[in-house]
Chain A
């Protein structure tokens, strides 16, 4: 049984079709990137996957989203919070709003699960170290930079020990070094943690995901490897390519490429690919 199963999901908002005919199975431990342009329905789908839009909502919808065969609405809130966590684009909107230190803020979620205080302490210390937040433990989260706040939000999510982490453009407002720090933390998570990343740009996704889906106007257009999905003509026109892939694409047009050498999506991959081309041509 898939960990998360979406079947024929239809979702309308303000009289507009946002998602249509969405079906998707996500297995435990998968690293999935769902990419789409503006107005493609990414944020709505992220919320559905994370159980934020309940079945009794007034919005028109059909289809189902289940976690291990159970609809989100059938799961008690505490179980849902332990099963899945959603990290959004704007960190300060996801902090508790209480006059907490960073340590208190991270402990807030596990504290609401009525866990043993020693277990809460263990989780908080573990995720603070993992996310590089030890030196900020006694700071007020609202005095931190956007990058530091986003790391606190990710720590909040990880402290819940979720089986699934849903990320909606988590590095959109971050500088490159802060974004790098986020990707390093996510890459280091246990392979048991399922990650679903939503993004408008493929640049970050290619570093983390093994499976890619392209969402356009509320429908999936492509599902597969980076090469299968990112080189889809509609994906190229609405998402663009990572710079290294674009360079390879142009090199093919200019006939300074070699048959059989794949499209590189990262700098490391591009170094290897361009060297292969050089060997093939000399």
Chain B
């Protein structure tokens, strides 16, 4: 769905922000982009949605070179939620804001209304439909921006720190939405500083440092590479740190850790049996975990 080949970018007469970046993202995959502030993560998203043009190399979205089409065309398949959602609002009501995109697709009034109603319902914004987006709190603003992206039924969703400042309830709503999009075949690429969120939600992790892509692999592989992680100025999720210090099987998040802990206490073979896999699936925390398979 998304391919970057030898991608490089520099803002006018400055050092390159990104250099020699190559990766691909398939449909139905959740890909996290991690790295320190200034590592080039947000710039990468702007290259993927066509708002920036690569200095070197190229970005292909569904096989189309972003240099060959206007960003407005790419917006039909690429939805973006920026880190500061208030910067992307220009309508006086939430419903108007969300309906702007589908109106540009040539849909009739009924189709637009149907899509907007659905997007507002999924993001929990029905009661704010007539409110000015700038009168909402930051979390609700992020959901308005997300609704504006989802209403276009994108095939690629780019999210920049969308979980920032959200409480556990809002994070659960977000995680449900993202897993629904993934199940529907959407490729989701999200920039995130919260390694616990990354551990719970990503299939793949792109680790950036100083404009270089240091690693592109599963969360377990990337977060287990302690030297690489340290060089990039990041820390592994707390449960992985804990499992390592306790000498347990590596665990990325709490329910994963408890299964490792049970193995450790019982001294059983660490190879997971079917019944144990089933047990891991049903282990549920009432508020902070999401259901489903570990990565």
Contacts and interface: CB of A to CB of B under 8 A. Distances in A.
Q: DSSP class of A's interface residues: helix, strand, loop or mixed?
A: helix
Contact of A247 (B36, B257, B287): B257
Contacts of A249: 254, 285
Contacts of A243: 196, 237-239, 242, 253-254
Given A244-B242, A256-B258, A270-B242, A238 B167 contact: yes
Contact of B166 (A178, A200, A275): A200
B164 A173 contact: yes
A176 B193 contact: yes
A281 B257 CA distance: 18
Most buried by A among B164, B168, B235, B253: B168
Contacts of B196: 203, 243
Contacts of B137: 38-39
A79 B261 CA distance: 54
Contacts of B265: 256, 278, 281
B164 to A, nearest CB: 6
Interface in A100-154: 145-148
Contacts of B126: none
B261 A251 contact: yes
Contacts of B38: 145, 147
A261 interface: no
Interface in B155-204: 161, 164-171, 193, 195-196
B193 A38 contact: no
Nearest to B238: A243
B110 interface: no
B285 A250 contact: yes
Interface in B131-150: 135, 137, 139-140
Contacts of B36: 145, 147, 175, 177-178
B277 to A, nearest CB: 15
A172 B166 CA distance: 10
Given A39-B137, A247-B258, A175 B167 contact: no
B106 interface: no
B246 to A, nearest CB: 6
B234 interface: yes
B168 A239 contact: yes
Nearest to B266: A256
B248 to A, nearest CB: 9
B260 to A, nearest CB: 10
Interface residues of A, number: 47
B173 to A, nearest CB: 11
Most buried by B among A243, A244, A267: A243
B246 A251 contact: no
Contacts of B262: 254, 256
A242 B58 CA distance: 41
Contact of A37 (B39, B167, B195, B255): B167
B235 A246 contact: no
A169 interface: yes
A145 B245 CA distance: 33
A42 to B, nearest CB: 10
Nearest to B248: A274
9 A-B pairs with the lowest CB-CB distances in the bound complex, closest first:
A240-B288, A37-B167, A240-B168, A177-B233, A247-B254, A145-B37, A145-B38, A246-B254, A243-B238
Given A175-B35, A176-B233, A242-B238, 12 more contacts: A36-B167, A37-B167, A89-B165, A172-B165, A173-B193, A177-B233, A200-B166, A240-B287, A243-B254, A244-B242, A254-B258, A267-B241
Interface of B: 35-39, 83, 135, 137, 139-140, 161, 164-171, 193, 195-196, 233-235, 237-239, 241-242, 245-246, 253-255, 257-258, 261-262, 265, 283, 285-289
6 contacts: A145-B38, A172-B165, A175-B39, A176-B193, A176-B235, A246-B288
